[in-house]
Amino acid sequence: MLSMKQGRWSIAFVCMVLGFMLAVQFRSTQDAKNNISYQRVEELSARLLDTEKERDALQEEINSIKNSQETNASAEQRLKELRVRSGLTALEGPGVIVTIDDSKIASKAGENQNLYIIHDDDLLRVINELRAAGAEAISVNGQRLIASSEIRCAGPTLSVNNVRSAAPFEIRALGDTQTLVNALKMRGGVAETLKVWGIQLDIKEASALQIPAYKGASQYKYARPVKEDAS
């Protein structure tokens, strides 16, 4: 009877030991799994952080490229505008063609013959009227007029941009056609004044007129840009 009780206690003890060992092993296995899962989370977090940094760096590079392209495009557009304003670009559009020729009227005895031929001031009066009427571009016998252009007498010819030419003179002007015509033909205006001496002034309207670019040199030997006051 005693030995049966001892056998039962032995079996119970062995079961307890086995149960304890199984519990320890299960706990170790769970800890190992949890440890591996934690390591994986840490690694994934690190990779995610690196990916986000790389993404931000690429976005900055993209923004920089976009800004650079926008700056270049803006500078290029500004350069085009300056070239147009300075007369370095050929232009086309509506406007007028004004042809001026010397008078065909024979001068009377004792009269000054110079009154019947075209002078530089005659051309300047016509050009100033066109400019006052809003002409956006003007040429004389194919010479584009810019801020530094000169029109002066050169013996029996006229010099425009240091290029000599004789009558007839063809003046082309871009702008509102009707406004330009009215400016030249207004009462007491330049056309009426020149007609007194028989100087011929023919005005033609054009819907598609071309004016060439300025081909001369523009050099500033003495002029310098003024430094802007930072204050």
Is 130 in contact with 173 (CB distance < 8 Å)? yes
Position 2 scores a pLDDT of 41
**DSSP H or E run through 98:** strand 91-101
Ramachandran bin of 198, using left for φ above 0, alpha for ψ from -120 to 50, beta for the remaining angles: left
126-145 residue pLDDT tens: 999 999 999 999 999 999 99
Range of the domain at 95: 91-211
In a domain, 231, yes or no: no
Same domain? For 102 and 202 the reply is yes
Same domain? For 54 and 114 the reply is no
Same domain? For 58 and 129 the reply is no
Position 224 scores a pLDDT of 82
Position 212 scores a pLDDT of 94
Cα separations in angstroms, 3 against 6, 7, 14:
5, 6, 16
Same domain? For 207 and 99 the reply is yes
Of the CA atoms within 13 Å of residue 31, those in its CB half-sphere come to: 6
Tell me how many domains the chain contains: 2
Same domain? For 80 and 98 the reply is no
Q: What is the DSSP string of 16-58?
A: HHHHHHHHHHHHHHHHHHHHHHHHHHHHHHHHHHHHHHHHHHH
CA distance 79 to 18: 90
Output the tens digit of pLDDT for each of the chain's 231 residues: 445 555 555 555 556 656 656 665 656 655 555 555 556 556 667 776 777 777 777 778 777 777 777 777 777 787 788 777 888 899 999 999 999 998 887 767 666 777 788 889 999 999 999 999 999 999 999 999 988 888 998 877 899 988 999 899 999 999 999 999 999 999 988 988 888 888 889 999 999 999 999 988 777 778 788 887 755
Position 211 scores a pLDDT of 95
pTM above 0.75, yes or no: no
Of 34, 55, 85, the residue that ends a domain is: 85
What CATH number is associated with residue 200?
3.30.70.1880
Same domain? For 67 and 43 the reply is yes
Position 74 scores a pLDDT of 79
Burial of 61 (0-12, 13-18, 19+ CB in 10 A): exposed
